[in-house]
Amino acid sequence: MNRTIIITGGAGFIGSHVVRNFVNKYPEYHIINLDALTYAGNLENLRDIEEKPNYTFVKEDITDAAAMIRVFEQYQPDGVIHLAAESHVDRSIADPTAFVMTNVIGTMNLLNAARAIWEGQFEGKRFHHVSTDEVYGALGDTGLFTEETAYDPHSPYSASKASSDHFVRAYHDTYGLPIVLTNCSNNYGPNHFPEKLIPLCIHNILTNQPLPIYGDGKYTRDWLYVVDHAVAIDLVFHEGKNGGSYNVGGFNEWQNIDLVKELCKQVDEKLGRPTGTAEALITFVKDRPGHDLRYAIDANKINKELGWYPSVTFEEGLSKTIDWFLDNQEWLDNVTSGDYQKYYEEQYKEVKK
Ligand code: NAD
Ligand code: TYD
């Protein structure tokens, strides 16, 4: 094994695609998936690679500083790809502290552990911090986020991610830690936890429940197929400039209402039902507090420097995503039982009435 890489949050949505890509593509690397298995972590996501000889799962919580030092001393990673996070804006509105603990303190614990074992010997080492476009705040009807856009987070989630980004850069500037950052737009695809818009709507269509659209539905997001994000992370981890950051996006903006209508159309087609069946479930509900109007990424830097561009169109990506959920209804049933029900009751009280 010529490299050992700790990937945090590898049992989650994006992390599982990153782990799969690295385990399959680099049999000469030892990939350690470090994950606390919160409500969002699910080892079912990695069944196809869990027996591979270059894969190890370690159940630890990144908020535990001593555990991070222990794991880093045991495995001596030369790379870290950090995805573990509390990731859902609505949950951050309900419980901001959990976001500070995992996203800020957890990130700092990993930075400290990397610094401790690398001891200033930074040649060949890399700490890749995976972040979001939400740190840049909200755009009006025009403009794009570039790597130079000033941070202006509004939700507790984005504030915690912005803070973690600042700590990662501070460790580079202060201690010379070799770092790279990626700030990506909204992902979608297989294994997406059904608290987020697209998988929540797929789940609700399949269970004949209302499709809750916040406010007037005119909020705009830039959507990227998760496998393309995993490819971007691989590229930046290996070839990104030390200390640099790269915006990753889908060149693919949709207003929520149009996106959900497109989703409804495709699901009806795939289920062989009359057009309009799913759309009839659309229900406008109370807006999210502090809701950012629009996110849109300028991903030209990663395109020009590293040659990355999304490989699938939105139509293809959405079709693959719906197919995956239709073929994996047991996965959906498993993750929506238990605690999910409590979360759903609380978050969507108004719709349930
Ligand atoms: P997710 O919520 O699906 O998964 C998070 C994973 O982290 C889970 O496996 C969970 O068990 C683990 N985790 C949470 N707290 C932990 C802790 N204290 N210790 C160890 N593990 C812990 O998240 P995701 O959507 O896959 O996002 C992954 C990363 O990508 C996050 O850092 C997120 O901010 C970033 N990101 C997400 C998106 C998106 O659209 N989902 C877009 C851009 C960036
Ligand atoms: P989400 O998937 O939570 O991602 P983010 O908030 O990180 O962008 O939400 C995407 C968009 O969809 C956002 O504008 C909020 C909206 N939304 C709804 O309208 N209804 C919902 O039930 C959810 C979860 C989101």
266-300 tens-digit pLDDT: 999 999 999 999 999 999 999 999 999 999 999 99
> How remote is the CA of residue 87 from the centroid of ligand 1, in Å?
5
Res 212 pLDDT > 50: yes
Each residue's pLDDT tens digit, 184-207: 999 999 999 999 999 999 999 999
Each residue's pLDDT tens digit, 249-262: 999 999 999 999 99
| Nearest atom (ligand 2) to Cα of 211 | 22
The predicted pLDDT at position 351 comes to 84
Distance CA 173, CA 167 (A): 10
- Nearest alpha-carbon partner for 60 in 128, 125, 10, 117: 10
∠ CA 229-232-233 to the nearest 5 degrees? 90
The predicted pLDDT at position 353 comes to 46
Distance CA 161, CA 244 (A): 17
**301-306: average pLDDT:** 98
Each residue's pLDDT tens digit, 21-48: 999 999 999 999 999 999 999 999 999 9
The predicted pLDDT at position 352 comes to 63
Each residue's pLDDT tens digit, 139-154: 999 999 999 999 999 9
* Active-site option among 136, 157, 171, 219: 157
**240-256: average pLDDT:** 98
The predicted pLDDT at position 1 comes to 67
Cβ–Cβ under 8 Å, residues 132 and 184:
yes
- Please, what is the angle between helix 107-118 and helix 156-175, to 10°? 20
> How remote is the CA of residue 196 from the centroid of ligand 2, in Å?
6
For residue 134, indicate whether it is catalytic: yes
Least confident of 154-168, 181-195, 256-270, 338-352: 338-352
* Active-site option among 86, 134, 165, 234: 134
CB atoms within 10 A of CB 49: 18
Give the mean pLDDT of the chain: 97
Q: With pLDDT > 90 as the criterion, what percentage of the chain qualifies?
A: 98
Where does residue 227 rank: exposed (0-12), middle (13-18), buried (19+ CB within 10 A)?
A: buried
The predicted pLDDT at position 109 comes to 99
Each residue's pLDDT tens digit, 117-130: 999 999 999 999 99
The predicted pLDDT at position 281 comes to 98
Res 177 pLDDT > 70: yes
Nearest residue (by CA) to ligand 1, atom 42, is 186
Annotated domain spans of the chain: 3-188+222-251+296-312+338-351
Which amino acid type is present at position 184? Answer: C
| Nearest atom (ligand 2) to Cα of 90 | 3
Which tokens go with 250? 């889908």
> How remote is the CA of residue 58 from the centroid of ligand 2, in Å?
31
| Nearest atom (ligand 2) to Cα of 132 | 7
The predicted pLDDT at position 12 comes to 98
For residue 157, indicate whether it is catalytic: yes
Strands 220-225 and 253-255: antiparallel
3-188+222-251+296-312+338-351: in CATH 1.10.3720.10:
no
- Nearest alpha-carbon partner for 187 in 293, 77, 87: 87
Each residue's pLDDT tens digit, 60-89: 999 999 999 999 999 999 999 999 999 999
Distances (CA, A) of 103 to 10, 22, 88, 129: 15, 23, 12, 11
Distances (CA, A) of 316 to 48, 84, 224, 289, 310: 23, 28, 11, 33, 11
- Within 6 A (CB) of ligand 2 lie 89, 186, 196-197, 200, 212-214, 219, 221, 256, 288
Q: Which of 14, 223, 233 to mutate to test the pocket of ligand 1 (most atoms within 8 A of CB)?
A: 14
